[in-house]
């Protein structure tokens, strides 16, 4: 099912647009457990702050279709201006759900050959998670566009550099635990992009409708990532 979702014509364009946008803006804002008008307002805030990529995560013990509807609404509102992806994608079923909702890229916490294969077969960008050089090179060999080194904050920028310098031919993003204090270290270590969750899309700020604060934080991360 691909009829050019929300201005994207053909399978290849989903992947091309998402990867290009992520590499240019360098920040993926990750949202968990926020839906409806609050999510739309929060994403508008990060857009106004300069971020052009958002990841909506699946809640594995929750309603998968709720995430699907959230992705669809974001694609309707921001399609062509932002790239919208689905995260914490663990199964082929979830890849298909995300695809049918209009997602342009798929993010996973792990490296799964079947998930990557289906993602690429459907023409979406693939960002699987990996920690070791073996996992990173495996993800790339399966067709990943960007490899998410995870959890980056716990591993540290020195670790990131040590494992990725020999693998400079593979684009690696730093995800989880990246802050305004350490983002420069990960940038110097060679990260091509950064996945940021609650530091930007903070659920408490969203619940309090403090969208101007979210916008300011998004702008600060964009400036730090450049």
- Cis preceding-peptide flag for 61 (omega within 30 of 0): no
Ramachandran angles phi, psi of 166, nearest 5°: -70, -10
The pLDDT value recorded for residue 53 is 98
| pLDDT tens per residue across span 22-63 | 999 999 999 999 999 999 999 999 999 999 999 999 998 878
User: Looking at the predicted structure, is the pLDDT value of residue 4 above 70?
Assistant: no
Q: Mean pLDDT for the chain?
A: 94
Nearest alpha carbon to residue 146 among 119, 121, 177, 166:
119
Global confidence as pTM? 0.93
| pLDDT tens per residue across span 206-226 | 999 999 999 999 999 999 999
The pLDDT value recorded for residue 12 is 59
The pLDDT value recorded for residue 3 is 36
**CATH top-level class for 5-225?**
alpha beta
**Banded pLDDT at 10 (limits 50, 70, 90):** very low
The pLDDT value recorded for residue 87 is 98
| pLDDT tens per residue across span 90-104 | 999 999 999 999 999
Tally of CB atoms within 10 A around 226 = 10
Q: Who contacts 97 (Cβ-Cβ below 8 Å, separation ≥6)?
A: 64, 65, 67, 68, 86
The pLDDT value recorded for residue 61 is 83
What are the tokens at 18?
A: 């998402």
Query: How far, in Å, CA of 72 to CA of 91, rounded?
Result: 19
What are the tokens at 157?
A: 């920028």
**Banded pLDDT at 2 (limits 50, 70, 90):** very low
**What distances in angstroms separate CA 19 from CA 15, 60, 185, one per listed residue?**
6, 25, 23
**What distances in angstroms separate CA 53 from CA 155, 197, 208, one per listed residue?**
24, 12, 23
Q: Where are the domains of the chain?
A: 5-225
According to DSSP H, which parts of 79-210 are helical? Answer: 92-100, 113-121, 133-142, 152-155, 157-164, 183-188, 203-207
| pLDDT tens per residue across span 176-186 | 999 999 999 99
Tokens 């204090």 correspond to 181
| pLDDT tens per residue across span 135-189 | 999 999 999 999 999 999 999 999 999 999 999 999 999 999 999 999 999 999 9
Tally of CB atoms within 10 A around 184 = 12
């Amino acid at each position: 099912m691909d009829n050019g979702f929300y201005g994207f014509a053909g399978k290849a364009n989903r992947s091309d647009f998402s990867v290009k946008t992520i590499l240019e803006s360098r920040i993926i804002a990750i949202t968990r457990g926020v839906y409806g008008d609050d999510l739309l307002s929060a994403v508008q805030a990060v857009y106004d702050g300069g971020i052009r990529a958002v990841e909506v995560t699946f809640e594995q013990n929750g309603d998968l279709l709720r995430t699907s509807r959230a992705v669809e609404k974001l694609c309707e509102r921001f399609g062509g201006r932002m790239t919208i992806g689905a995260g914490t994608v663990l199964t082929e079923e979830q890849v298909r759900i995300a695809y049918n909702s209009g997602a342009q890229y798929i993010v996973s916490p792990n490296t799964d050959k079947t998930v990557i294969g289906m993602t690429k077969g459907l023409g979406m960008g693939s960002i699987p998670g990996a920690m070791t050089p073996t996992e990173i090179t495996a993800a790339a060999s399966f067709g990943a566009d960007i490899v998410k080194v995870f959890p980056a904050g716990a591993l540290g920028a020195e670790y990131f550099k040590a494992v990725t310098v020999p693998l400079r031919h593979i684009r690696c993003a730093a995800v989880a635990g990246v802050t305004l204090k350490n983002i420069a270290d990960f940038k110097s270590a060679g990260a091509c992009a950064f996945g940021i969750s609650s530091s930007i899309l903070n659920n408490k700020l969203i619940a309090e409708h403090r969208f101007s604060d979210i916008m300011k934080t998004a702008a600060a991360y964009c400036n730090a990532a450049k």
